[in-house]
């Protein structure tokens, strides 16, 4: 007798897009005949990467800029080939890009941006008392606040907030600026101005799938289906999937199902 294979375990981080992409991967695998399960919202990058290496998950959605800066601790951006060369000794690999970049940016409430004539990140130097509310992971990352502060000589003392509550804190006037993720659905509401990164501090954050190097060998049909997702999710699509989940409150699984129904992944 042949033992039934363990389901493929997909992890996700604790923000809307990661949950949506986690569901997309689970359902893409299932549609390819591979039992798969989602371990949603496990935590931040460090937790997901540790879970991947220890084998408690098999794959999760990640971003090239995050792999370079936060996982590999690179001081500059890395292309995907270099990322894979540096991940190889860790027994981990990244797949093809899904088709969009989700970068960090600093967003200022429109009234404050107009009042202070704030257009670029460099302009923040002129507004040392602007209340910055930054997400927990951003506050600790080298491609987050510590690096941004150094690159632009920023004098601010930011407060920490959960990204899921950032736009509400901004609108309620508790803070005047936040770190945004550029595919956030709530950016479309329009009362927030993204400061231009004139020093090109932020790298690209192309969405990819991170997995242990040997996982595709055990789940070839699932990874063939994942390969079929290459370039299938552009920034407009990702933002609208995020909006369905976060603004229309459609369950993640249903957002993923509707997307896959409209996206043939046959390879």
Containing H/E element for 150? helix 145-152
* Rounded Cα–Cα distance for residues 238 and 234 (Å): 6
Q: Tell me whether residue 181 or residue 252 sits nearer to ligand PBE (CB atom).
A: 181
Indicate which single residue of 8, 12, 13, 166 sits in contact with ligand PBE (rule: CB under 6 A).
13
**What whole-number distance in Å separates Cα of residue 48 and Cα of residue 57?**
8
Query: With respect to ligand PBE, which residue has the nearer C-beta, 168 or 214?
Result: 168
Nearest CB to ligand PBE, comparing residues 63 and 252: 63
Residue 97 bridge partners (DSSP): none
Q: Which of 94, 134, 125 is nearest to 198 (CA)?
A: 125
Residue with tokens 């390879």: 267
Answer yes or no whether residue 60 interacts with ligand PBE by CB under 6 A.
no
Q: Is the dihedral of CA 225, 227, 231, 234 positive or negative?
A: positive
Which residues within the stretch 98-137 sit at the binding site for ligand PBE (CB under 6 A)?
A: 102, 104
Shortest Å, Cβ 182 to ligand PBE: 7
Contacting ligand PBE (CB under 6 A), which of 205, 219, 226, 259? 205
d(CA 83, CA 2): 37
Among 12, 27, 45, 242, binds ligand PBE (CB under 6 A): 45
CB of 234 to ligand PBE, least distance (A): 16
Per CB under 6 A, contacts with ligand PBE among 213-252 are none
SS3 annotation, 215-237: HHHHCHHHHHHHHCCCCCCCHHH
Candidates 49, 60, 63, 167; binder of ligand PBE (CB under 6 A) is 63
How many chain residues are in contact with ligand PBE, going by CB under 6 A? 9
What are the residues binding ligand PBE (CB under 6 A)?
13, 45, 63, 65-66, 102, 104, 181, 205
């Amino acid at each position: 007798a042949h033992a039934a294979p363990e389901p493929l375990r997909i992890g996700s981080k604790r923000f809307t897009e990661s949950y949506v992409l986690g569901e997309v991967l689970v359902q893409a695998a299932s549609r390819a005949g591979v039992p798969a399960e989602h371990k949603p919202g496990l935590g931040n990058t460090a937790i997901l990467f540790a879970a991947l290496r220890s084998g408690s998950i098999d794959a999760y959605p990640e971003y090239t800029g995050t792999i370079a800066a936060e996982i590999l601790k690179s001081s500059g951006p890395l292309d995907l080939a270099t990322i894979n060369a540096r991940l190889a000794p860790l027994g981990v690999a990244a797949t093809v890009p899904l088709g969009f970049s989700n970068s960090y940016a600093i967003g200022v409430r429109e009234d404050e941006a107009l009042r202070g004539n704030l257009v670029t990140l460099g302009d923040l130097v002129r507004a040392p008392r602007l209340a910055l509310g930054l997400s927990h992971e951003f506050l600790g990352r080298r491609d987050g606040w510590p690096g941004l502060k150094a690159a632009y000589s920023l004098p601010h003392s930011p407060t920490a907030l959960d990204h899921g509550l950032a736009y509400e804190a901004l609108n309620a006037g508790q803070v005047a600026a936040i770190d945004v993720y550029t595919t956030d659905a709530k950016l479309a509401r329009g009362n927030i101005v993204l400061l231009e990164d004139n020093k090109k501090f932020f790298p690209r954050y192309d969405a990819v799938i991170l997995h242990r190097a040997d996982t595709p060998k055990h789940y070839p049909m699932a990874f063939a289906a994942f390969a079929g997702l290459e370039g299938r999710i552009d920034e407009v699509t990702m933002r609208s999937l995020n909006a369905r989940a976060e603004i229309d409150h459609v369950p993640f699984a249903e957002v993923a199902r509707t997307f896959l129904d409209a996206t043939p992944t046959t390879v």
